[in-house]
């Protein structure tokens, strides 16, 4: 049985999910000035469909379903390239990343429940020092809180470049996402992937500036890239750095 769900994407593209057996395949449809329909699978395991302007969604879905075996094979291939990490035990000495920096975990016995970053040491304080579930929750909460604070700071700084072009700063939402680093919807709400907190600040800025450009140009057309080039001339280098930093997740 194949079921297709849809929702609007950040840049007026369409997001769909296709249930194929036990696998849920998510893909984005973008209408472009072209004559034929094309499907690509990116190294980030994103499935993108580029369709001529007047293509019907029914026809697009049928072509995606016809290519589903190739899509799954491509996704599996890129999945196999990801580094394989041993399962975490949430004990002192384990490696973590924060703003691109390699950090070590140190679990401390304490009556306090807290997480503090000192240099490259992530100190977790808890009276349940040997309880991996408790330590895991504390680390997750710390990453979530830290990402919201940092992303708001970077949005405030980067929005200054757009203040004369955009009437108001978009609202920020932070959540875990599996297929994209960020999005900006038609209600001027900027969504950033919480996992970006593990990346260098310059990569966070790239994603924010990219999405702010979508406030003016929803599609990835020439006008969008002209604006992105003017706001961040070195965006290609930052994009490559972000792609190469996936091991930090």
pLDDT for 44-75, tens place per residue? 788 999 999 989 999 999 999 999 999 999 99
Residue 177 located in a structural domain:
yes
Beta bridge partners of 187: none
Cβ atoms within 10 Å of 2's Cβ, excluding its own: 12
| Containing structural domain, residue 68 | 4-81
Number of domains in the chain: 2
Residue 88 located in a structural domain:
no
Is residue 53 domain-shared with residue 13, that is, in the same domain?
yes
SS3 125: strand
SS3 39: strand
Q: Where residue 21 falls among pLDDT bands split at 50, 70, 90?
A: confident
Residue 240 located in a structural domain:
yes
Is residue 67 domain-shared with residue 179, that is, in the same domain?
no
Mean pLDDT of the chain: 89
What is the pLDDT averaged over residues 12-24? 83
Question: Residue 240 sits in a domain of what CATH number?
Answer: 3.30.2010.10
Is residue 52 domain-shared with residue 23, that is, in the same domain?
yes
pLDDT digits (tens, 9 = 90+) for 193-232: 999 999 999 999 999 999 999 999 988 889 999 999 999 9
Distance CA 194, CA 148 (A): 8
Distance CA 236, CA 39 (A): 22
Q: Report the first-to-last Cα separation within the chain, whole angstroms.
A: 33
Cβ atoms within 10 Å of 198's Cβ, excluding its own: 21
In the sheet with 171-175, reading across from the earlier edge strand, the strands are 171-175, 189-193, 182-184
Is residue 117 domain-shared with residue 190, that is, in the same domain?
yes
């Amino acid at each position: 049985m194949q079921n297709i769900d849809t929702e609007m994407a950040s840049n007026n593209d369409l997001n769909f999910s296709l249930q194929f057996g036990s696998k849920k395949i998510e893909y984005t449809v973008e209408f472009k000035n072209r004559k034929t329909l094309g499907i690509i699978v990116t190294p980030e395991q994103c499935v993108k469909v580029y369709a001529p302007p007047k293509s019907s969604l029914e026809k697009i879905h049928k072509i995606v379903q016809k290519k589903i075996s190739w899509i799954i094979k491509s996704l599996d291939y890129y999945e196999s390239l990801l580094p394989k990490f041993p399962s975490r035990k949430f004990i002192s000495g384990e490696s973590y990343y924060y703003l691109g920096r390699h950090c070590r975990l140190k679990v401390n016995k304490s009556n306090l429940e807290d997480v503090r970053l000192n240099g490259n040491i992530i100190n977790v304080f808890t009276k349940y020092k040997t309880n991996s579930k408790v330590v895991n929750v504390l680390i997750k909460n710390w990453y979530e809180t830290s990402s919201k604070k940092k992303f708001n700071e970077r949005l405030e700084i980067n929005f200054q470049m757009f203040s004369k072009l955009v009437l108001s700063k978009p609202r920020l939402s932070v959540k875990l996402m599996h297929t994209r680093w960020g999005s900006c919807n038609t209600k001027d709400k900027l969504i950033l992937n919480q996992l970006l907190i593990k990346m260098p600040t310059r990569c966070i800025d790239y994603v924010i500036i990219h999405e702010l450009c979508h406030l003016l140009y929803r599609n990835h057309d020439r006008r969008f890239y002209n604006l992105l080039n003017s706001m961040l001339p070195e965006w290609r280098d930052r994009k490559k750095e972000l792609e190469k930093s996936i091991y930090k997740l």
